Amino acid sequence: MHSISLPPGSHDALAVDQLFCGTLDWDAHPYYQAMRGLQVSAHFFIERSGRLRQYVDCDRRAWHAGASHWRGRDGCNDDSIGVELHGLEGERFEDAQYRRLAWLVRALMQRYPLRFVAGHEHIAPGRKSDPGAGFDWQRLQGGFAGSGLYFPPHR
């Protein structure tokens, strides 16, 4: 689980979509200069409206985790599915995003042996803090009681 907003604080999903499609105009905003040449991808992006976009097939690696460690293993891109929520670390997320995320997790559980859900903050602590304090882990977890799905401890 990640969060992303381009530029930070923007609720327009166009720049995020362009980033994941490789078409972002690096000169369109001063913030993008620090990102120029960044190669990043995600399997899914959930807009604030709940609209779901898929960029990478789940059977292929996406480049969303970066330097990471989880469950005793490095390189979380190798065995994870990256879901980006449109929003800024610390911001609250929309009801529509939680509904779509729960739907997506259920769909993924039907196809893959999904056992863990974690945030970027859990797999890259000290380096990343998303989706952040605004993400309601208990709300998401509540919909999966008895499913065997593991969620990180809540703050």
What integer pLDDT is reported at residue 95 of this predicted model? 98
CA distance 153 to 155: 7
Summarize pLDDT for 124-142 with one digit per residue, the tens.
999 999 999 999 999 999 9
What percentage of the chain exceeds 90 in pLDDT? 88
Task: Give the strand pairing for 44-46 and 83-86.
Answer: parallel
**Residue 26 — left, alpha, or beta (φ > 0 → left; ψ -120 to 50 → alpha)?**
alpha
What integer pLDDT is reported at residue 155 of this predicted model? 58
Structure token pair of residue 25: 């105009």
Summarize pLDDT for 85-119 with one digit per residue, the tens.
999 988 999 999 999 999 999 999 999 999 999 99
Alpha-carbon Rg for the chain in angstroms: 15
Summarize pLDDT for 14-51 with one digit per residue, the tens.
999 999 999 999 999 999 999 998 889 999 999 999 99
Domain parsing of the chain, residue ranges: 2-142
What integer pLDDT is reported at residue 97 of this predicted model? 98
Question: Known catalytic residues?
Answer: 84
Domain 2-142 annotated CATH 3.40.80.10: yes
